[in-house]
Amino acid sequence: MTQFAATCPHHSLTHNNKTIGSMCIITTRSFLLIKILQSHSCALTCFTLQLFELESCTYTYLLADTETKEAVLIDPVLETVDRDLKLIHELGLNLKVAVNTHCHADHVTGTGIMRKKVVGLKSAISKFSGASADIQLSEGDKITFGKQYLTVRETPGHTDGCVTLVLADQSMAFTGDALLIRGCGRTDFQQGCAKTLYQSIHEKIFTLPDECLVYPAHDYLGRTVSTVGEERKFNPRLTKNLDEFMDIMKNLNLPKPKKIGINIIDNTNLYCASYQKVIYCFFENVKISIKISI
Amino acid sequence: MTQFAATCPHHSLTHNNKTIGSMCIITTRSFLLIKILQSHSCALTCFTLQLFELESCTYTYLLADTETKEAVLIDPVLETVDRDLKLIHELGLNLKVAVNTHCHADHVTGTGIMRKKVVGLKSAISKFSGASADIQLSEGDKITFGKQYLTVRETPGHTDGCVTLVLADQSMAFTGDALLIRGCGRTDFQQGCAKTLYQSIHEKIFTLPDECLVYPAHDYLGRTVSTVGEERKFNPRLTKNLDEFMDIMKNLNLPKPKKIGINIIDNTNLYCASYQKVIYCFFENVKISIKISI
């Protein structure tokens, strides 16, 4: 089969003749030909929904094959598990895999509790994360849902076990904490390494088509999506050379993540197959976390 | 021209044979035919980007014609004006209109300051809002950007001046505070009227195609998009009859919006063409708002 770029140039935005933005919709006239196509092809189909967790500014992604209804959830958060499962139920989806792009330090994963609530659901994470899960992922692995699949690209640097998940047609990449919109994951704790992160992004993400949509695990400024082309052109860190990048990363002086005490020291996120209920309360305006093992 | 439904059934999700979800992507095979189409048609094209303001949980939407680069911004927020303008600049867009779906009570609109920063930019709001703006909107008006346009549907009930903006092909509706995801705008202050809101949603929004994407002005649970079909089926308020709906709305017992003191009493949002800078500080853990007229 002849190969075509992942997204539609008719819907793309260009800047100095370079495609940089491409969140497109199917409109009246193009829809006609897709209807025709439908009658005599096995075109790939994929439903995608972005969800947000307000406290940690984490994005969770729900993907589904529109024909078989098999679904994958990327980076679910403990606090929003019930929201996600209700939506999955309403949409009539069959959740097959809940995957973490890495072992998070800023929120507690929802995959552990989801496994207990959804029959047959498998958790997944990189084999280099140090975390336990039903599926241990490595470079080139495919996470299949119906006729769709995500391909694993290992993108370490923020942590050793960071992966980027790329949709089969390379129209979307779920970059976790490796590449963020106009930024990238920090490299000053866990197994962070600025040089490794720089190489990961340039070799594994920036080699994707410019039109490929970039869906990160977080955004703290309310941006929802970018493209590889935009980040190659406008990312203030990744447009620098390696030495400049390492210097930037060395001098970020970021505060410690809110839940690093829960997630790293106590290893909650190192066991995707089990979980601890975390309850919050306030005492003289100081937020207290209380963990209950279940 | 023969009319077709707004979104692609090949990409839609069904539940009990009813289309309820349809956030679709164009994939490899369908892309082939769109390429062919492109060479001999004048198909409509539209870029759409959702943005989020964290404090008020407000969604801002950037829409652009991919050919002419003319753009419209829906419900910009004062605090995120610089973010939005930077993005518009990077994408090479020409912002023509900044439109408010209604006079907001929970955040300060960004349209006033944007008008001062962007040459030729017009602000727009319903003529029934009581607010001043360059363009006073009413039922059936079109907000044009390139070959695209949004049609105004008046949907009062949360306020007298609430409108829903519908993309030309009815694939997307920006519902403001009229219809929210699994909810709706409150009706207990300003010109709120539960009966009017119920009629607005049923007559002006639920008459759109089931596949039409619903993009609200807010979501407090991190959901980003719904469809008319989903809301017709699952909205816990709007699936009730009018009497039950009015009873629900009467007993919500919601707290006063955070910025109602700024936005309603002081009329900041009643003048889209001017603005006041709002600065926040903390005094003994109490958040204080200080307004500076500019």
B101 CA to chain A: closest CA distance, Å? 19
Is any Cβ of chain A less than 8 angstroms from the Cβ of B267?
Answer: no
Task: With beta carbons under 8 A apart, name residues in chain B contacting A89.
Answer: none
pLDDT tens track, chain B, 294 positions: 222 222 333 344 544 545 454 333 333 223 333 332 333 333 457 899 999 999 999 999 999 998 899 999 999 999 999 999 999 999 999 999 999 999 877 778 999 899 999 999 999 999 999 999 999 999 999 999 999 999 999 999 999 999 999 999 999 999 999 999 999 999 997 789 999 999 999 999 999 999 999 999 999 999 999 999 999 999 999 999 999 999 999 999 888 766 554 444 344 555 554 444 444 434 334 444 444 433
Residue A252, pLDDT score: 93
Residue A106, pLDDT score: 74
Residue B239 CB contacts under 8 Å (≥ 6 apart), including other chains: B232, B233
Nearest CB to A27; choose among B28, B29, B43: B43
Residue B18, pLDDT score: 55
Residue A254, pLDDT score: 87
Which position has the higher pLDDT, A247 or A7?
Answer: A247
- The answer to whether the Cβ–Cβ distance between A44 and B27 falls below 8 Å is yes
| Test mutation, B19, B29, B212, chain A, max A CBs within 10 A | B29
A167 CA to chain B: closest CA distance, Å? 10
For the cut 80, the answer to whether the pLDDT of residue A67 exceeds it is yes
Nearest to B96 by CA among B69, B59, B75: B69
Task: Tell me the residue type at B99.
Answer: V
B229 vs B183: CA distance, rounded Å: 14
Q: In this structure, which long-range contacts are made by residues B169-172, counting pairs with CB atoms below 8 Å and at least 24 apart in sequence?
A: B169/A27, B169/A28, B169/B6, B169/B44, B170/B6, B170/B208, B170/B209, B170/B212, B171/A25, B171/A26, B171/A27, B171/B6, B171/B7, B171/B211, B171/B212, B171/B213, B172/A25, B172/B48, B172/B212, B172/B213, B172/B215
Tell me the H-state helices in chain B.
Answer: 28-38, 81-90, 111-117, 194-200, 228-234, 242-250, 260
Is any Cβ of chain A less than 8 angstroms from the Cβ of B51?
Answer: yes
- The answer to whether the Cβ–Cβ distance between B80 and A37 falls below 8 Å is no
Average of per-residue pLDDT across A252-265: 63
- The answer to whether the Cβ–Cβ distance between A24 and B3 falls below 8 Å is no
Residue A145, pLDDT score: 96
Which position has the higher pLDDT, A10 or B188?
Answer: B188
Which positions 103-162 of B are in contact with A (Cβ < 8 Å)? Answer: none
Least confident piece of the model among A27-31, A130-134, A238-242, B159-163? A27-31
Task: With beta carbons under 8 A apart, name residues in chain B contacting A29.
Answer: 37, 41-44
Task: With beta carbons under 8 A apart, name residues in chain B contacting A37.
Answer: 10, 29-30, 32-33
Q: Is the dihedral of CA B178, B183, B189, B193 positive or negative?
A: positive
- The answer to whether the Cβ–Cβ distance between B5 and A225 falls below 8 Å is no
Is any Cβ of chain A less than 8 angstroms from the Cβ of B64?
Answer: yes
Is any Cβ of chain B less than 8 angstroms from the Cβ of A23?
Answer: yes
Domains of chain B: 44-293 (3.60.15.10)
Start-to-end C-alpha separation, chain A:
51
Task: With beta carbons under 8 A apart, name residues in chain B contacting A50.
Answer: 224-225
The whole-angstrom distance between residue B279's C-alpha and the CA centroid of its chain comes to: 26
Q: Quick check: A46 and B29 in contact, CB under 8 A?
A: no
Is any Cβ of chain A less than 8 angstroms from the Cβ of B10?
Answer: yes
- The answer to whether the Cβ–Cβ distance between B23 and A171 falls below 8 Å is no
Strand, helix or coil for residue B231? helix
A113 vs B82: CA distance, rounded Å: 40
A33 CA to chain B: closest CA distance, Å? 6
| Strand order across the B142-145 sheet | B142-145, B148-154, B163-167, B172-176, B213-216, B226-227
